[in-house]
Structure 1
Amino acid sequence: MTVTSHRRSSVFARGLLVAAALAALSACSEEKKAEAPEVVRPVKVAEIGPPDEGRKLVYSGSVKARTEMNLGFRVSGKITERLVDVGDRVKAGDVLARIDETDYKLSLDSADANLASAQKQAEITQIALKRAQTLRDKNVSSQADLDQATLSRDQAIAAQHSAEASLDQAKNQVAYTELKADRPGIVTAVSADVGQVVASGSAVLTVAVDGSKEVLVAVPEMDVAQFKPGKAVKANFWSSDNLALDGKVREVAGSADSQSRTFAVRVALPDDDRVLLGMTATITASLDNSSPAYSVPLAALAKKGEQSIVWVVDRQKGTVNARSVTIADFSDDGVRISKGLSTGDLVVSAGTQFMKDDMKVRLPETVTSRFGSVNSMTAASVGVSAGN
């Protein structure tokens, strides 16, 4: 019994020693864990700006008059005089150019002589008709003689009318040797000069008629469907940052240009004295049926299962959490999110594969965004906001 009690006491003592050793090791391990600092991962973030309205269609063009007249002579001939240059202002009725009128004046003289002859012939036949009528009344001549005299008189009168028309035509031909402006405007082009022989109807001068102005832009076929007559657009001008006008699409070409394969689109502008012909303008239009959305960098988009997510930073706690989002479409510089984000949110824009919920992150103290300089201990931005 004494030996058994001694053995039991020895085993119990060894157990106490092992337990004490294990407790000491556990305490050391916990102390080391407590001393180990929590990992805080530095991240790059983007501050979400106001929602945009979708991709913008931006095209450059030049200001033109709504009506441009290509003026040419109504008769052919050699140009003897040009009285205007490009940029000159003209009024209705102003003579712009002349062609040689020598042959046309000769035709006028010939027509005048023919008319005089026809008038004399008409007078002679009228006298002959009266004589024939008198003789017939006295039964000296036959009815056939009277009918012949009447016919001759009618033919002479018809010839006189023809000669009068020929004279009027000859006068017009002489008048057409002067090229006149039909409406007030500005000369924008000269297509023929002194000494050149031109055919009737050939363009000699181009005049931009005073009045409404418009911007002519060339739109590729992939975007032409977005331009319909009546669509509201914005017009900005390189000449002045303060000059911006609301315009409307007036006309869209029905076929593409054979060389550029683009469609000519004309945008009507409101009257403004600051808009001059030839100015360079930029037309900006929105896509049809576009909805507001927030732009984020493509690298900010991640996947959790089948759901698209972004990692949003809690400014107060300095932690990140996954947030489900709905993708509207993709833009040139990122992704457009229609649901799940708000203006001012901070999203992780790089290294999303290392993120997990409630992870501590470290952000730069000073940030600069499109909205100005922002000093914050918990905010950073790479300048991502609404827009293209």
Structure 2
Amino acid sequence: MPSPSHTLVRFSPAVLLTAAALVLSGCSEEKVETVEVIRPVKTVEIAKADETRTLDYSGSVRARTEMNLGFRINGKIIERLVDIGQRVKAGDLLARVDPADYLLSVRSAQASLDAAERQVETAELARNRAEQLYAKQVAPKSQLEQAVLSYNQAIATRDSAKSTLDQAKNQVSYADLRSDQNGIVTAVSADVGQVVGSGTPVVTVAVDGEKEVLIAVPETDIAQFKPGKTVKAGFWSDDALMLQGKVREVAGSADPQSRTFAVRVSLPNDPNVLLGMTATIEATALNAEQAVSIPLTALTQKDKQPIVWTVDRSAATVHARPVTVGDFTGDGVRISDGLKPGDLVVSAGTQFMTEGLEVKLDAAAEQQSASADDMQGSDQRLR
């Protein structure tokens, strides 16, 4: 019985090449499908231009009246009776200088007054005797006139000695430094053992009563602060505390170093406002230029020029638009030219934007766009 034979099929190279060509041609006929990604963006609609702007300046609360108290005489301080923060009343003793030399002056002036009093008594006796002798026609009139003149001179000398004594006593009283009004000690500029001259500040007392905030305003904004202008005062220690103040005084010239003007704002009496607290004065000013506000993240650059990316509502595409920056605020930037109310601006992801890029608006922007389209359609129907 013959064994089964195994048939070996062989393909020629030409056949293999033909099969490979058919496979490649089938692959080339496959379609490559690409999906274009529509990038979602966050936008902000430009509101009406700001007619006013807010000016914020920080300062510290201080008393409207501060007394820099000093001795009216020269001397060495031998006692200081108050410390910073201590309340004082009118007449309270604050400090004292050594009165020894002034006490000696009082004794000397008293002795001179006593001698002058004796001289007056002597001159008075001489005048009375001269009057008697002249009345009896024993002494000439010239002698009487001389006695009267001596008496008058003695009176003048006595009065002068009395004034000298009063001045010496005043000098002794000036050795005690006392407060003129009720208040709080805010500074001590000299201490025990220090020799001070007359008028040198020793203790500073903030007088009870009206308080104020001192702020420094640059020359660009000083025209917005006039005496009597109403402003708001906020306090760093208490966000809920907001008072209405008034500009009381504006410096007539700028500080030579800082080139700012000192502005004092009076505050209403409030027990929660303490001396030294940090306050923020907020004032409003009219905008010379009608600027619109956008978030800082919406501003970018192209060819070193500031631009924003605006959205075409109908085509849902973005386009670069050059703008002019007015100034920066605490929460954004003001644009003085290039945008108008109603424009839709990309507020985040500006680094991914390209000219004509198709984007997907957020839900709020889509609703605004639909509302705008409805309003336009209604206007056309009415026409």
TM-score normalized by the length of structure 2: 0.73
Partner of 1:249: 247
> CA deviation digits over 1:125-151, x for unaligned, max 9?
111111101100111111110000000
Residues 50-129 of structure 1: pairs in structure 2 closer than 5 A: 52-129=50-127
Q: In the alignment, which of 168, 172, 176 is matched to residue 170 of structure 1?
A: 168
3-state DSSP of counterpart to 2:201: coil
Q: Does residue 260 in structure 1 map to residue 228 in structure 2?
A: no
**For 1:233 and 1:328, how far apart are their aligned partners in 2?**
27
Q: In the alignment, which of 182, 185, 195 is matched to residue 183 of structure 2?
A: 185
3-state DSSP of counterpart to 2:44: strand
Partner of 1:269: 267
Q: What RMSD in Å do the two structures reach over aligned CA positions? A: 3.6
Pairwise CA distance, 1:207: 0.4
User: Are the equivalent residues in 2 in contact too, given 1:300–1:352 (CA < 8 A)?
Assistant: no
TM-score normalized by the length of structure 1: 0.72
User: Are the equivalent residues in 2 in contact too, given 1:313–1:347 (CA < 8 A)?
Assistant: no
Partner of 2:333: 334
**For 1:85 and 1:158, how far apart are their aligned partners in 2?**
47
**For 1:286 and 1:352, how far apart are their aligned partners in 2?**
37
**For 1:172 and 1:53, how far apart are their aligned partners in 2?**
64
Q: Does residue 204 in structure 1 map to residue 202 in structure 2?
A: yes
Question: Partner letter of residue 203 of structure 1?
Answer: P
Greater mean deviation of Cα atoms: 286-295 or 222-231: 286-295
> CA deviation digits over 1:221-244, x for unaligned, max 9?
333333222222221101100011
User: Are the equivalent residues in 1 in contact too, given 2:308–2:345 (CA < 8 A)?
Assistant: no
Greater mean deviation of Cα atoms: 228-237 or 189-198: 228-237
Gaps (5+ residues) in structure 1?
Answer: 1-35, 302-307, 366-373, 381-388
**For 2:236 and 2:37, how far apart are their aligned partners in 1?**
53
User: How many residue pairs end up in the alignment?
Assistant: 325
Partner of 1:371: none
**For 1:180 and 1:300, how far apart are their aligned partners in 2?**
62
3-state DSSP of counterpart to 1:79: strand
User: Are the equivalent residues in 1 in contact too, given 2:325–2:333 (CA < 8 A)?
Assistant: no
Partner of 2:149: 151
User: Are the equivalent residues in 1 in contact too, given 2:289–2:336 (CA < 8 A)?
Assistant: no
Change (3 A) 1:125 1:267: same
Question: Partner letter of residue 334 of structure 1?
Answer: V
Pairwise CA distance, 1:340: 4.7
> CA deviation digits over 1:233-270, x for unaligned, max 9?
22110110001111122112223334333322211111
Partner of 1:9: none
**For 1:312 and 1:231, how far apart are their aligned partners in 2?**
42
**For 2:85 and 2:327, how far apart are their aligned partners in 1?**
47
Change (3 A) 1:54 1:288: closer
User: Are the equivalent residues in 2 in contact too, given 1:67–1:209 (CA < 8 A)?
Assistant: yes
Change (3 A) 1:42 1:292: same
- Identical positions, percent: 56
**For 1:209 and 1:49, how far apart are their aligned partners in 2?**
49
Change (3 A) 1:188 1:321: same
Partner of 1:138: 136
Question: Partner letter of residue 120 of structure 1?
Answer: R
> CA deviation digits over 1:58-94, x for unaligned, max 9?
2211100000010000011000000000000000001
> CA deviation digits over 1:26-57, x for unaligned, max 9?
xxxxxxxxxx9999664441144676454322
Question: Partner letter of residue 246 of structure 1?
Answer: Q
Change (3 A) 1:41 1:95: closer
Gaps (5+ residues) in structure 2?
Answer: 1-33, 301-306, 370-383
Pairwise CA distance, 1:284: 1.7
**For 1:134 and 1:71, how far apart are their aligned partners in 2?**
59
Partner of 2:30: none
**For 2:276 and 2:113, how far apart are their aligned partners in 1?**
52
> CA deviation digits over 1:282-317, x for unaligned, max 9?
11222245687642358689xxxxxx9995665xx7
**For 2:87 and 2:35, how far apart are their aligned partners in 1?**
82
User: Are the equivalent residues in 1 in contact too, given 2:233–2:280 (CA < 8 A)?
Assistant: yes
